């Protein structure tokens, strides 16, 4: 058994899979009425350290929205274009990625633009985004596009929901121990996708006109030979008459293999002297990614 709170040991880059998130470059096109006007996006094919991906983002006179392509050349008829180079530098725990971004406007109003690219080193968590550039787009008199502006952003994104079929199952046990003997035990099972916060709520534990309830959330990330878990548990103590209440929280980060069970000691509470409260956790993948072999039981 692994006792916690624990901080997962630093992993080598080879231990961390690079298909759970990707670096996305998005051109968000907005119409004058606030609706989408043809936004486009592209994502790095991998997070291989030091491997550069070049995006060509632009707009041509032949259509209202944007366009995206990979490689050295923008669309031949582009009237507005950006060149964006993305190079991963580090992949860390809980889907945190550091990368180098070099971007520049290469075509403005149909004419080539020159200038040194702007360089940024960014560290993002899954779901975070950073705006790079904003450019007003005049309405094209030949088309009824009604396009107002374009915003270029870079973000760290999980796979599209329709492509993400992976599921992880997590068992949680809340144990109330007095004098070395388990007085009560509650069990629940959570199912969810990697990277999504999954909430949990246990029933009250009542002693001497006071009630304790435990709740929180857990985030699970696939990594190497097992899973990274971040668990936040809140203890709330409430008088039965409802006249007083207090709470405390603990956040732990674990690395578990499928055969491991972790234990987290929970905050103590006045009025519950002699009660040792802890959380037991076990987690495993139950449905693999598209094209992957199913997990062995």
Question: Would you say residue 211 has pLDDT above 80?
Answer: yes
Where is the domain boundary, 114, 129, 157? 157
Indicate whether 293 belongs to any domain. no
Same domain for 49 and 131, yes or no, is yes
Give the angle subtended at the CA of 132 by the CAs of 129 and 137, to the nearest 5°: 115
Q: What is the pLDDT of residues 268-282, one digit of tens each?
A: 777 778 888 899 999
Contact (CB, 8 A) for 12 and 39: no
Q: Tell me: pLDDT of 7 over 50.
A: no
> Is the same domain home to 248 and 176?
yes
Q: How confident is the model at residue 193 (pLDDT cuts 50, 70, 90)?
A: confident
Q: Are residues 26 and 130 in the same domain?
A: yes
Between 261 and 65, the higher pLDDT residue: 261
39-84 tens-digit pLDDT: 888 888 888 899 999 999 988 766 667 788 888 777 777 788 899 9
pLDDT-above-90 percentage for the chain: 27
Please check whether residues 34 and 151 belong to one and the same domain.
yes
Tell me how far apart the alpha carbons of residues 134 and 186 are, in angstroms, rounded to a whole number. 52
Question: Do the bridges between strand 129-136 and strand 118-125 make them parallel or antiparallel, or are there none, so unpaired?
Answer: unpaired
Would the pTM count as exceeding 0.75?
Answer: no
Predicted local confidence at residue 1, as pLDDT: 39
User: Does one domain contain both 135 and 174?
Assistant: no
Quote the mean pLDDT of the chain.
80
| pLDDT tens digits along 130-140 | 999 887 765 55
Q: Answer whether residue 170 is part of any domain.
A: yes
- The verdict on 73 and 147 lying in the same domain is yes
The pLDDT, as a whole number, for residue 188 is: 96
* Residue 196 confidence (pLDDT): 84
**Claim to verify: residue 108 and residue 198 sit in the same structural domain:** no
**Domain of residue 237, residue span:** 2-11+164-287
Domain check: are 129 and 35 in the same one?
Answer: yes
Taking the alpha carbons of 219, 250, 279, 262 in that order, is the dihedral positive or negative? positive
Separation CA 140–CA 150 (nearest Å): 14
Structural domain contains residue 295 = no
Per-residue pLDDT band for 5 (boundaries 50, 70, 90) equals: very low
Q: Which of 106, 135, 157 is the last residue of a domain?
A: 157
How distant is the alpha carbon of residue 241 from its chain centre? 41
- 162-175: pLDDT as tens digits: 556 788 999 999 99
Residue that finishes a domain, picked among 157, 188, 219: 157
Are 113 and 196 in a shared domain? no
Q: Domain check: are 241 and 153 in the same one?
A: no
Residues listed for the chain: 297
Within a domain: 297: no
Whether residue 62 lies inside any domain: the answer is yes
| Average pLDDT over every residue of 6-30 | 56
> How many domains does the structure of the chain reveal?
2
pLDDT classification of 13: cutoffs 50, 70, 90? very low
Domain assignment of residue 192, yes or no: yes
Whether 217 is in a domain gets the answer: yes
Residue range 148-157: average pLDDT?
Answer: 84
- Of the two residues 191 and 91, the one the predictor is more confident about is 191
Which has the minimum average pLDDT: 17-21, 245-249, 258-262, 285-289? 17-21
**Domain-located, residue 45:** yes
| Backbone φ, ψ for residue 161 (5° rounding) | -55, -35
47 with 104, same domain: the answer is yes
Pairwise pLDDT comparison (102 vs 28), residue with the higher score: 102
Do 119 and 45 belong together in one domain? Answer: yes
- Does residue 207 surpass a pLDDT of 50? yes
């Amino acid at each position: 058994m692994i006792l916690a709170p624990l901080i997962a040991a630093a992993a080598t880059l080879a231990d961390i899979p690079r298909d759970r998130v990707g670096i996305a470059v998005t051109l968000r096109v907005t119409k004058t009425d606030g609706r989408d006007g043809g936004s486009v996006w592209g994502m790095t094919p991998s997070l291989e350290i030091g491997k550069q991906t070049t995006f060509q983002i632009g707009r041509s006179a032949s259509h209202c929205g944007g366009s995206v392509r990979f490689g050295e050349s923008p669309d031949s008829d582009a009237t507005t274009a950006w060149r964006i180079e993305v190079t991963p530098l580090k992949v860390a725990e809980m889907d945190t990625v550091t990368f180098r971004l070099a971007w520049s406007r290469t075509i403005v109003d149909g004419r080539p633009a020159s200038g040194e690219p702007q360089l940024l080193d960014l560290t993002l968590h899954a779901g975070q985004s950073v705006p790079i550039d904003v450019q007003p787009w005049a309405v094209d008199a030949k088309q009824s596009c009604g396009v107002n502006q374009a915003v270029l952003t870079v973000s760290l994104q999980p796979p599209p929901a329709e492509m993400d079929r992976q599921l992880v199952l997590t068992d949680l046990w809340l144990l109330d121990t007095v004098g070395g003997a388990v007085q009560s035990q509650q069990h629940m099972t959570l199912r969810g996708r990697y990277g999504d916060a999954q909430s949990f709520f246990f029933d009250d534990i009542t002693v001497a006109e006071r009630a304790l309830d435990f709740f929180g959330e857990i985030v699970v990330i696939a990594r190497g030979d097992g899973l990274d878990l971040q668990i936040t548990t809140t203890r709330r103590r409430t008088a039965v008459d409802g006249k007083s209440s207090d709470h405390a929280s603990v956040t732990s980060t674990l690395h578990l293999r499928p055969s491991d069970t972790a234990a987290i000691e929970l905050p103590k509470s006045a009025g519950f002297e002699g009660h040792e409260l802890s959380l037991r956790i076990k987690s495993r993948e139950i449905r693999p990614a598209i094209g992957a072999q199913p997990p062995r039981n």
